[in-house]
């Protein structure tokens, strides 16, 4: 008998439409996908393809127009805002481009603040390791005003990973980092997946995507292809093909607006 793999994140027939009537925009169009435990998946696609919307719906930060979402094993439908907040606080972490650091707190205090607010005991050895892995081991007692933009992003990344959540969502997590720091962060995300955490990362960078186990590609709100064990060259080629195809469609539509 085969052992069923735990699936912390699942989207089933998810549609997301913004606006109504003639101004309605479909951001996700019947998306179904499962992210198994211990997986590291990169989400890619042209601008406006629905990448961030998929991430926000999967994370419970946005509500689908229709369809079902399961996060950390819990169906999101019917949850009130308090229940969603507790679920995200206790079992999910986020790495977004906005740092959201407390300017009066040190790097260490910013990283450990979520656990303190949630009444959870921190693994100080793990916190120290995470801070060192993101390249801030010598800046533990610095405040955000003493850090560069890239260093602030690293604090935000360390804060998200310090609580060892079941699920981590990352939206362009290495966009503000230098090459060496980006490699450290991506290696850490890959290591976390190896320890059983589920990581979903939106990125436009083929190098960042090559660290993931799988890459899914969105176009016009639909998953159109995927790669397993991707290389930088494979990801770049696929993005080029999708971009060329989208441009042809746009040109055809502009010539024949009623098609």
d(CA 54, CA 45): 12
Greater pLDDT, 166 or 150? 166
Instruction: Give the model confidence (pLDDT) of 25-63 as tens digits.
Output: 999 999 999 999 999 999 999 888 999 999 999 999 999
**In the predicted structure, residue 4 carries a pLDDT above the cut 60:** no
Length of the chain: 259
pTM of the model: 0.87
- For 249, residues 6+ apart whose C-beta sits below 8 A from its C-beta are none
Instruction: Give the model confidence (pLDDT) of 191-203 as tens digits.
Output: 889 889 999 999 9
Write down the architecture of domain 9-255 according to CATH.
Answer: 3-Layer(aba) Sandwich (3.40)
In terms of DSSP H, where are the helices of 18-106? 51-58, 81-91
**254 three-state secondary structure:** helix
Instruction: Give the model confidence (pLDDT) of 87-128 as tens digits.
Output: 988 889 998 877 889 999 999 999 999 888 878 888 999 999
- Please report the pLDDT score of residue 259 as a whole number: 46
Structure tokens at 113: 């603040």
Strands in 66-71's sheet, in edge-to-edge order, are: 25-35, 9-18, 66-71, 74-75
């Amino acid at each position: 008998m085969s052992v069923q793999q735990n699936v912390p994140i699942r989207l089933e027939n998810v549609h997301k439409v913004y606006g109504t009537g003639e101004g309605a925009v479909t951001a996700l169009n019947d998306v179904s996908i499962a992210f198994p435990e211990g997986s590291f998946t990169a989400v890619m696609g042209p601008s406006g393809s629905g990448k961030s919307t998929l991430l926000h719906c999967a994370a419970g930060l946005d509500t689908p127009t229709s369809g079902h979402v399961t996060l950390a094993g819990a169906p999101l439908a019917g949850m009130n805002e308090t229940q969603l907040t507790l679920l995200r606080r206790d079992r999910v972490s986020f790495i977004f481009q906005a740092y959201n650091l407390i300017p009066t707190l040190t790097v260490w205090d910013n990283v450990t603040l979520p656990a303190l607010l949630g009444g959870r005991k921190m693994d100080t050895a793990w916190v120290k390791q995470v801070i060192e892995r993101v390249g801030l081991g010598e800046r533990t007692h610095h405040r955000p005003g003493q850090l560069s933009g890239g260093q602030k992003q690293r604090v935000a990344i360390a804060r998200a990973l310090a609580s060892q959540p079941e699920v981590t969502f990352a939206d362009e997590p290495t966009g503000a980092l230098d090459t060496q720091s980006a490699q450290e962060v991506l290696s850490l995300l890959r290591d976390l997946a190896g320890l059983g955490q589920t990581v979903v990362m939106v990125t436009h960078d083929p190098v960042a995507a090559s660290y993931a186990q799988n890459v899914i590609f969105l176009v016009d709100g639909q998953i159109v292809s995927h790669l397993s064990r991707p290389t930088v060259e494979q990801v770049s080629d696929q993005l080029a093909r999708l971009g060329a195809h989208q441009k042809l469609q746009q040109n055809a539509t502009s010539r024949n607006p009623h098609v």
